[in-house]
Structure 1
């Protein structure tokens, strides 16, 4: 095994990613290996304080709201049965929660894995003319492609090659809609969203209180009370049952599904989703094992495809929420807590989804927007703290425009055009 001798200060330099952590790498494959002892269960519990648990909970609620709605919408486009949808949701929570726990504990670094949201949108569109079994076949091949890219070492090379301001501009473009959703929620639902925003500001303005009660947790509690008083729950929690029932499903390999889905799905995982995850973690001084994460995404994508779940990724928004506050050395515990909560949601996914779907949209929008304020601020600061900001600006605009091309979502094209503008007009060296 070899050890890299690169700086490890974790600072974001103009146009560069933070220096990678000196992971040990395997003798034959460029997959990062852990360089320290794994924490004991007692150490994990000691590091999982109130703030870390609050971040883990908010990140889990985020994942189980809007992203789950995207799955349900995609399933409706393909006329999937309730059993197939239940199996899909079980897979993206339970299996990925387990992966989050394993890798966050192994590397002692926050590494939250869930599923590709833009990939789910792509799948939904394809289900209008592809059979479900054909989509499952594309999942399998996509997992193989992601795995091979991780084993080759290309995943980390790509992440180190793209300038950090451009990646963070893409992240800012993705996160911006949550901030706008917060403004819209406060404007349109004074009874629910406004008290949440006021509670967030009031607790945040009192340092002694906020050290004990995180502002976002206070906002959530106030929001729940407001929903109950306002009579906002629109359905029964157990309308769809209590326990998940995962089911094995056979893939079908056809040229039309593979040519339509594999490349867009692989790009959304490796560049768009993993790119966001790596960027937000590096911006907080962490050193995620990029190649090992890609390998894990490939292996897990193969596993969850058997029960009908879309490809696994190192999620950007969830990781951003996990590291949004608290001590960086304890962020890994928040990720483990998030994974543990995901296991519970996976098992109880019908009931949990029923609860979320019965909650007013304003509550979800306000909670997500308030939680995303710190990550959104950080992404803007990193993207535009440079004298060569035209490339990041183009990347941001293309990402916000949210126009896909050849089945690949806007964040990818934002990076491509941002790189092109930087190289042509700002003479940025991409190396």
Structure 2
């Protein structure tokens, strides 16, 4: 007699992907509520809570730092956070339930950093227009059923060199914060690295969460917490933003944003789930990211993606067939955070600038390290170097930012000088 686990394995092995390569069908019949409740357990609830705490700490600080660079109002930031938590929480619940695996959706962090740089010379309406077009492009790519081909067409080292260039300034900002406000920044940095060096402690206190708590204590001691009273209330009121379509914004943002979603973020999320024994529906994931990105743009929220770090936390323990309940937990809690986005934003903005810059930078430190490793650890090294240098240069040509030109320049150099690497990649 087969166990539920073996039945699930058999379902996955038979995989409807072979019969319909474009739209991977969910498991049928769909689980009933009492079956879902039976699969819940302490391990999965805790993993879901940890995943939510991770998403609501460092990654949110990245949004606030990017928004501050573009002088977005508290209402616009609240709407952004409402969109990325509530909408992606709903998407997480629906897809995880339908496919019986953890499919936690969040937002593209590299894209957020990229937008922060673009907001220095683009209007918010232009950026929202780019969000909408990016979602349409992602949906189109997913509908072709050629997502894996798209991922393979762009050499990973060149893409990751662009990501490293985009992330670098956030790492530098950590160092600057230590110099400008050491009383706040130093405790955050020290606690972060102490927890990084003690694996046993880090299992129950992730370094970025410990850093946030240390920073909160430091801010309280130094009296740096200044909560305003704007009367906006605690419950989110989404701000509907009419998009503006400008050539410079579309050329500067759409391709890099789509690349970070499809290749970087979804690629990372897919790899995490594959390593845990799941078979995520790659084409469906891409298409729903496109649809949700278009919906999120209406409230000024950045593109959706399959979250790599969050999914890694959700599959950290328990039986594989029950891990989807950790994603359900994450989704429900994410909706709660999004609904109270104004309160959350007010609390974060009441912190000193050094708190947000330091936490945001440390949250990206591991990603920055992995970006350098992926960019310069194998082939396409000259193309990756050119991509990185152009991406950090601040170059603006034809009103298009440096990240886009970094990709173009790196691909051109690799095509001229590293054709053997292209041939080797095609043979893998």
| Residue matched to 1:188 | 180
How far 1:425 sits from its partner (Å)? 1.1
SS across alignment from 1:213: coil
Report if aligned partners of 2:273, 2:311 keep a CA contact under 8 Å in 1: no
How far 1:193 sits from its partner (Å)? 1.6
| Residue matched to 2:142 | 150
| Residue matched to 1:163 | 155
Distance in 2, Cα, partners of 1:41 & 1:407: 53
Distance in 2, Cα, partners of 1:389 & 1:323: 29
* Aligned pairs for 1:22-421 within 5 A: 24-25=16-17, 27=19, 30-33=22-25, 40=36, 43=39, 46-48=42-44, 53-68=49-64, 70-71=66-67, 87-103=79-95, 106=98, 108-109=101-102, 111-114=104-107, 116-117=111-112, 118=114, 125=121, 127=123, 143-236=135-228, 239-246=231-238, 257=245, 259=247, 261-262=249-250, 264-281=252-269, 284=272, 286=274, 289-305=281-297, 307-314=298-305, 319-320=308-309, 323=312, 327=316, 339-386=331-378, 388-406=380-398, 408-421=400-413
Distance in 2, Cα, partners of 1:137 & 1:368: 26
- Count matched residues: 396
Gaps of 5+ in 2: 1-12
Report if aligned partners of 1:54, 1:217 keep a CA contact under 8 Å in 2: no
Distance in 1, Cα, partners of 2:93 & 2:398: 35
Evaluate the alpha carbon distance shift between residue 281 and residue 415 of structure 1 in structure 2; reply closer, same or farther with a 3 A threshold.
Answer: farther
How far 1:87 sits from its partner (Å)? 4.5
Greater share of helix: 2
SS across alignment from 1:150: helix
SS across alignment from 2:232: coil
TM-score normalised by structure 2 residue count: 0.75
How far 1:49 sits from its partner (Å)? 6.9
Report if aligned partners of 1:269, 1:311 keep a CA contact under 8 Å in 2: no
Report if aligned partners of 2:155, 2:380 keep a CA contact under 8 Å in 1: no
* Cα distance per residue 1:14-45 (max 9 Å; x no partner): xxxxxxx9964375662344589989456565
Report if aligned partners of 1:398, 1:413 keep a CA contact under 8 Å in 2: yes
Evaluate the alpha carbon distance shift between residue 247 and residue 173 of structure 1 in structure 2; reply closer, same or farther with a 3 A threshold.
Answer: closer
SS across alignment from 1:65: helix
SS across alignment from 1:243: coil
| Residue matched to 2:10 | none
Distance in 2, Cα, partners of 1:232 & 1:410: 35
SS across alignment from 1:257: coil
